[in-house]
Amino acid sequence: MLNCLRSPGKMAVSRLPFFLALAFSSLSFVLSHWNREMWFQDFFPPNMCPINAKDNTFYGIMFDAGSTGTRIHIYTFVQKSPENLPELEGEIFESVKPGLSAYADQPEKGAETVKRLLDMAIDAVPPHLWKKTPVVLKATAGLRLLSEEKAQSLLLEVREVFEESPFLVPEDSVSIMDGSYEGILAWITVNFLTGQLSGQNQHTVGTLDLGGASTQITFLPRFEETLKETPGDFLTSFEMFNSTYKLYTHSYLGFGLKAARLAILGALNVEAVDGQMFRSSCLPKQLEAEWHFGGVKYQYGGNKEGETGFKPCYLEVLKVVKGKLHQPDEIRGSSFYAFSYYYDRAVDTNLIDYEKGGVLEVRDFERKAEEVCDNMEKYNSSSPFLCMDLVYITALLKEGFGFRDNTLLQLTKKVNNVETSWTLGATFHLLQSLGITY
């Protein structure tokens, strides 16, 4: 028998029984500025349980329409006993490239990529639960950067795919997510998976997400001073476990790794990119190539005559980073969880293991950047952007956010076999709003 909706904030908070038991006890949160637009509010009246009460397993399907790819996360939850909260049992994850924004002029084709992923859910979810399994897609920076008209036609096509599927399609099931939710939901995911949101001794960790088009930083400030010095729109309160968390979070649009490449090349917001050649000292000297991003083709190359290497590249990158981001003093000495492109580039350069991840200092990225940029011919076989990407990551961390050389970064892709993505936090919120559980 499932626990259905109860008044938020009144449940007993149990400790995680052991590290693998992902107790589903974080659902009574209400983001302060979500009150007005609470997703799926009143979709199910209180005390109505949309899941078959005899069934103790239920599912949630969350799509992440990122700027570089679309991903499906199918979460399975189990209600082991009526007294206990449901537990997150596992996740099925699949992704496709490119992202929806690459189909800006072919929305039907874009929606087709979503349909192919959704077919996986048909196989994963038992047919008798299809009607009770919600499906939601949230798009991030790729769609934020498109014109309203193009973004809306993509979302409309996706909505049609959902409507034609056998799943539960809540109101507003396909939307562009606000950047501040992206940071908060990823913070919830990481702190939930690492067991920091239950029990008394909470030591929450800050999170750093580096996407293709935007980047997020989120942490729980410990000092009053930080709250005072932070612009109001960087702070968001929400309730969870009868505690109120006031998080520092911000999403920087245009500061994702791939958008930054364009900014460094001077190709961002340029009207007519056709036929233009964009050059950088961060690229191999002789290189001339084409690159497609967000449905646009760019021609780029190395500084044939001029300088290349770490120093000139760092100066070039500095121009797009320095003074552009808010620097909270408090983070200088803290450690952070970092994922997405921080993780991928650390793997590409053997700084960490693909499966295990690892702990790095900020200066490890800098050392690797120097090694790669000053020996570009040696790294010829990997991406021509490797030097630029590593220098950008270094500059973003040091000059952008203001981290110290020895700030520790916990590079993490999965915790207990669940992807560290905002999608889990978003699924908690979805299920809560639907009254599927607390």
Ligand X SMILES: O=c1[nH]cnc2c1ncn2[C@@H]1O[C@H](COP(=O)(O)OP(=O)(O)O)[C@@H](O)[C@H]1O
Q: Among residues 134 and 212, whose Cβ is nearest to ligand X? A: 212
Please identify, using beta-carbon distances, which residue of 67 and 133 lies nearer to ligand X.
67
State the nearest-atom distance from the C-beta of 68 to Ca ion, in Å.
Answer: 8
Nearer to ligand X, 85 or 151 (CB): 151
Cβ closest to Ca ion, residue 63 vs residue 192: 63
* Shortest distance (Å) from residue 268 CB to ligand X: 14
Among Ca ion, ligand X, none, the one that 421 touches (CB under a kind-dependent 5 to 8 A) is: ligand X
Q: Which of 86, 110, 183, 211 binds Ca ion (CB under 5 A)?
A: 211
Smallest separation (angstroms) from ligand X to the CB of 393 = 11
Nearest to 400 by CA among 202, 252, 232: 252
Site for Ca ion in 322-341 (CB under 5 A): none
- Please choose, out of 19-27, 207-215, 341-349, 397-405, the segment that lies near Ca ion by the rule CB under 5 A: 207-215
Q: How far is the CB of 141 from ligand X (least distance, A)?
A: 4
Catalytic, out of 87, 91, 157, 182: 182
Q: How many CB atoms lie under 10 A from the CB of residue 83? A: 8
Instruction: DSSP for 156-178, please give it.
Output: HHHHHHHHHSSSB--TT-EEEPP
In whole angstroms, give the CA distance from residue 202 to residue 195: 8
Question: Residue 71 or residue 429: which is nearer to ligand X going by CB?
Answer: 71
Question: Taking CB within 5 to 8 Å according to partner kind, which of ligand X, Ca ion, none is near residue 419?
Answer: ligand X
Instruction: Determine the Cα–Cα distance for residues 33 and 174; give it in Å rounded to an integer.
Output: 20
Smallest separation (angstroms) from Ca ion to the CB of 133 = 23
213 binds, among Ca ion, ligand X, none (CB under 5 to 8 A by kind): ligand X
Contacted by 69, from Ca ion, ligand X, none: CB < 5 to 8 Å by type? ligand X
Partner touching 405 among Ca ion, ligand X, none, CB below 5 to 8 Å by kind:
none
Count of H-run helices and E-run strands, the chain: 11, 18
Per CB under 5 A, does 179 bind Ca ion?
no
Helices in 134-287 by DSSP H: which ranges? 141-144, 148-164, 179-193, 224-229, 257-265
- DSSP letters, 34-84, are GGGG-TTTTSS-TT---S-TT--EEEEEEEEE-SS-EEEEEEEEE--SSSS
- Asked whether 364 and 234 are in contact (CB, 8 A), the reply is no
Q: Output 51 or 388, the one with its CB closest to ligand X.
A: 388
Whole-number minimum distance, CB 33 to ligand X, in Å? 21
As a whole number of angstroms, the distance between CA 237 and CA 11 comes to 20
List residues binding ligand X (CB under 6 A): 64, 66-69, 71, 99, 140-142, 211-214, 256, 340-341, 344, 413, 419, 421
C-alpha distances out from residue 160 to 105, 109, 142, 146, Å: 17, 13, 20, 20
Region from 26-34, 210-218, 240-248, 345-353 binding Ca ion, contact rule CB under 5 A: 210-218
The nearer residue to Ca ion, 66 or 98, going by C-beta atoms, is: 66
Q: Closest distance between Ca ion and the C-beta of residue 295, in Å?
A: 18
Q: How many other β-carbons are positioned within 10 Å of the β-carbon of residue 9?
A: 14
Looking at beta carbons, which residue is closest to Ca ion? 211
β-pairing, 288-293 with 277-280?
Answer: unpaired
Q: What is the DSSP string of 284-349?
A: -TT-EEEEEETTEEEEEEE-SSS--SHHHHHHHHHHHHTTSS---GGGGG--EEEEEHHHHHHHHT
Among positions 61-80, residues that touch Ca ion (CB under 5 A) are 66
To the query of whether residue 182 is one of the catalytic residues in this protein, the response is yes
Size of the site for Ca ion (CB under 5 A): 2
Q: State the residue number with the nearest CB to ligand X.
A: 211
Q: Which residues are catalytic?
A: 182
Give me the residues that bind Ca ion (CB under 5 A), please.
66, 211
